[in-house]
Amino acid sequence: MLKKSWVLFFPLLSAIFLTACSGGGQGTPVAEFTGANKQPKTITLPEFEKAYSKTVGGVENAKKDDQEKFKTFLDVYTNFKLKLEEGKERGFEKDAAMNQELDDYLKQVGQTYIIEKELIEPAVKQMWERRKKELRVSHIMTRPDSLDSEAPKLKLDSLLQRIKAGESFEKLAAEYSQDDFSAKSGGDIYYITSGMIVPEFEDAAYLTPVGQVYPEVVTSRFGYHLIKVTEIKDRIPQVRASHILIGYLNPEGNPDTAFAVAKMDTVLMKIKNGESFSVLAQQYSEDPGSKQSGGDLGFFERRMMVPEFDEAAFKLKPGEISPVVKTAYGLHVIMVTDYKPYPTFDEDKENLKKMYRQIRYNNEYAELLKTTRERYNYLENEQLFAQLEAIGDTVDITKDYFVVDWRNEYKDSTAFSIGNVSFTLDSLIDNMNKRYEFLNRDITFALLSEGAVKYANDRVLEIDAKYLPERNEDFARLMEDYRNGIYVFKLQELEVWNKIKSDSIYLVEYYNEHKDNYLWPDRVEFGEIFVKNDSVANFIFKEAMGGTDFESLAGKYTERSNMRGKLGKHTLQDVNTNQLYKEANKHEVGFVTMPFAIDGGFSIIKVYAKDKVRIKTYEEAKPEVLSGYNEREQKKLEHDFTQSLRAKYKPVFFYENLKEAFKN
């Protein structure tokens, strides 16, 4: 019960206090009280400011509020602090159920926190910072050789020494690079930014100054690379451009560069004379995709256009027009019309997270697990694994292990350990049997080692989470907040919710005291047949007036969504619910209206019942009675409990010191 209810209660509590209840520290006092240990406790002005600003959405909002609001909040906040003291005095810190809930929360939230805050968030922030720049990069690449995987890397090592000795990177790229696309241009692979290329290449490039070569051979899944950075510049995320394209074919359909140049000269002259770029694009451009929109290509990023076009467009400022640009498609003249500014981190965060998960996450998550295993001294029982390989090399891990004779001898042996936590061989085999990659495989040293690592990976972050509060102040505060929330919830349960007497005798008494508040408005119940054609509506009306059952007609003909199965019946509700209810209320029970226009069609209504305004019976009002009664009793019990705490802990308030709140 505690856990389920607390999950509902926690968001309400945390929104008010839980980020600001970690003790007073130094500062002007705004309240004092006697703690559970009979020692004086102080709520300081800085603590008050932190709690209040969090509640109202920040310091700037807090500065707009007046002393009366500060005073009211201090009263409520002090009550909260008194409840924490009461929880300590009642021994909540030793309560097994609450400590178990804290442990469960630590395991659940701690692992997520480690991944989000210690892995993803720093990496995404680095990506955002890196993407402010774009790098023009060249490389010399060799591919792995299945016969001699080291030879291609050694080849690049020798080339690196030649480059250091003064030979041209570009010439060596043209001669030796196995990247056929870039070799012919001296290794140039154009502009890149973070998230655009494999991580190993990117990391090396961002560590390399302009004009220099990264000092080591870089290995990626594509092969081996020598990397040179030729330019670094501020990145423009996207430009919007229009263009006019003149193809190389003359009207007869033959290649004719001279004709294309002459036609482009005409366009350039008209632009120079002030004619509209958009109108000229519609008149002259041979790009069918953009011609009708005045040459507009919309926004695009680097590398979305052919390099010649791309390079020209990204050099222009909004409103500028390029010289003639030659591409394989023809001659272009380009006008940039807009830039997209570099986004803030918050604006781009979700996009960067997706990019990070696609490109880097798997490898970096694996590295996080490896580092964490090492931190907690992950150890495999290699002697055990070797023994099992010797005696079980034909034992199928799925079918045979749990029935072999020697299992009882080894099942409780430690297979591996992380920190001070040991895992038995039985638990390891059981875990491996839940993984498809281990099914129907014979026991070997390598197989057990692989299984142990994967099992350890499942548990190592859970173990690490136990120590997270010690190394991370933010998470320590989060755990303190959660613990305080559990304590306050438990007190509310004991002193308020569990003490509410909800016997029917009390509810009936409350109903009789307040029954004038429980009123039914004027209500009406009716059937409706809705059709979109007036002639069909008139036909149905005649059928109804001729004695055909109205509900049968509604079930057969009504076209209103989801009403045919209900035989057109609209239940007893307030006469002001909608226009149909208002129309039905105009007529007596049993009356059938003529077809009238509504909702793009025609309706016929038959009134089934009417109920005038009246006081609800106890049974009809019971949900409202229960809610009202519980609210009243809860307020009374809460008030009595708070007064008892104030009498016990004797708080003293220094309201005058609130005048200094949010002045700095």
Categorize the per-residue pLDDT at 577 as very low, low, confident or very high, splitting at 50, 70 and 90. Answer: very high
Q: Specify whether 441 is located in the same domain as 526.
A: no
Question: What is the pLDDT, as a whole number, of residue 222?
Answer: 92
pLDDT of residue 401 exceeding 60: yes
Question: What is the pLDDT, as a whole number, of residue 271?
Answer: 95
Instruction: Provide the 3-class DSSP secondary structure of residue 297.
Output: strand
Instruction: Assess contact for 493 and 641: CB atoms under 8 A.
Output: no
Categorize the per-residue pLDDT at 41 as very low, low, confident or very high, splitting at 50, 70 and 90. Answer: very high
Residue 433: which residues within 8 A CB-CB, separation 6 or more?
Answer: 397, 398, 439
CATH number assigned to the domain comprising residue 596: 3.10.50.40
- 143-157, 218-232, 397-411, 616-630, range with the lowest pLDDT: 143-157
**Does 166 fall in a domain?**
yes
pLDDT of residue 316 exceeding 70: yes
pLDDT of residue 12 exceeding 80: no
Q: What is the DSSP letter of 616?
A: P
- Helices 67-89 and 45-56, axial angle in degrees (round to 10): 110
How many CA atoms are closer than 13 Å to the CA of 384, on its beta-carbon side?
Answer: 22
Q: Tens digit of pLDDT for each residue in 455-496?
A: 999 999 999 999 999 999 999 999 999 999 999 999 999 999
**Does 504 fall in a domain?**
no
Parent domain of 283: 238-340
Amino acid at 609: A
Across residues 65-77, what is the average pLDDT?
95
Percent of the chain with pLDDT over 90: 90
Q: Specify whether 267 is located in the same domain as 209.
A: no
Q: Specify whether 256 is located in the same domain as 221.
A: no
**Does 33 fall in a domain?**
no
Q: Specify whether 329 is located in the same domain as 311.
A: yes
Categorize the per-residue pLDDT at 150 as very low, low, confident or very high, splitting at 50, 70 and 90. Answer: confident
Question: What is the pLDDT, as a whole number, of residue 147?
Answer: 60
What span, in angstroms and rounded, lies between the C-alpha atoms of 120 and 117? 6
Q: Specify whether 276 is located in the same domain as 324.
A: yes
Question: What is the pLDDT, as a whole number, of residue 2?
Answer: 37
* Alpha-carbon distances of 112 from 18, 206, 340, 346, 429, rounded to whole Å: 20, 29, 34, 20, 27
pLDDT of residue 194 exceeding 70: yes
Q: Specify whether 257 is located in the same domain as 214.
A: no
Q: Specify whether 228 is located in the same domain as 172.
A: yes
DSSP state string for 450-475 = HHHHHHHHHHHHHHHHHHHHHH-HHH
Question: What is the pLDDT, as a whole number, of residue 558?
Answer: 97
Tell which of 317, 340, 363 closes a domain: 340
Q: Specify whether 399 is located in the same domain as 326.
A: no
Residue 568: which residues within 8 A CB-CB, separation 6 or more?
Answer: 527, 528, 529, 530, 550, 551, 554, 555, 558, 560
Question: What is the pLDDT, as a whole number, of residue 146?
Answer: 67
What span, in angstroms and rounded, lies between the C-alpha atoms of 596 and 27? 74
Tell which of 432, 450, 469 closes a domain: 469
**Does 493 fall in a domain?**
no
**Does 301 fall in a domain?**
yes
DSSP state string for 8-67 = HHHHHHHHHTTTS-S---SS-EEEEEE-TTS-EEEEEHHHHHHHHHHHHTSHHHHHTS-H
- Tell me the average pLDDT of the chain: 93
**Does 425 fall in a domain?**
yes
**Does 643 fall in a domain?**
no
pLDDT of residue 383 exceeding 90: yes
**Does 629 fall in a domain?**
no
Q: Specify whether 215 is located in the same domain as 245.
A: no
Question: What is the pLDDT, as a whole number, of residue 19?
Answer: 43
Q: Tens digit of pLDDT for each residue in 621-637?
A: 999 999 999 999 999 99
Q: Specify whether 416 is located in the same domain as 457.
A: yes
Categorize the per-residue pLDDT at 4 as very low, low, confident or very high, splitting at 50, 70 and 90. Answer: very low
Question: Whole-model pTM?
Answer: 0.74
Categorize the per-residue pLDDT at 554 as very low, low, confident or very high, splitting at 50, 70 and 90. Answer: very high
Q: Tens digit of pLDDT for each residue in 510-553?
A: 999 999 999 999 999 999 999 999 999 999 999 999 999 999 99
Q: Tens digit of pLDDT for each residue in 106-144?
A: 999 999 999 999 999 999 999 999 999 999 999 999 998
Instruction: Assess contact for 81 and 33: CB atoms under 8 A.
Output: yes
Tell which of 340, 364, 391 closes a domain: 340
| Element housing 615 (H / E) | strand 614-615
> Which residues, in sequence order, are bridge partners of residue 396?
442
The DSSP bridge pattern shows strands 379-380 and 569-574 to be unpaired
Q: Residue 328 CB: number of other CB atoms within 10 A?
A: 7
pLDDT of residue 497 exceeding 90: yes
> Structural domain tally of the chain?
4
Q: Specify whether 380 is located in the same domain as 311.
A: no
- For 642-661, letters b (16+ CB in 10 Å) and e give beebeeebebebeeebbeeb
Q: What is the DSSP letter of 565?
A: T
pLDDT of residue 11 exceeding 70: no
> Which residues, in sequence order, are bridge partners of residue 406?
none
Question: What is the pLDDT, as a whole number, of residue 393?
Answer: 72
How many CA atoms are closer than 13 Å to the CA of 41, on its beta-carbon side?
Answer: 20
Q: Tens digit of pLDDT for each residue in 26-38?
A: 689 999 999 888 8
What span, in angstroms and rounded, lies between the C-alpha atoms of 232 and 210? 7
Q: Specify whether 226 is located in the same domain as 170.
A: yes
Instruction: Provide the 3-class DSSP secondary structure of residue 580.
Output: helix
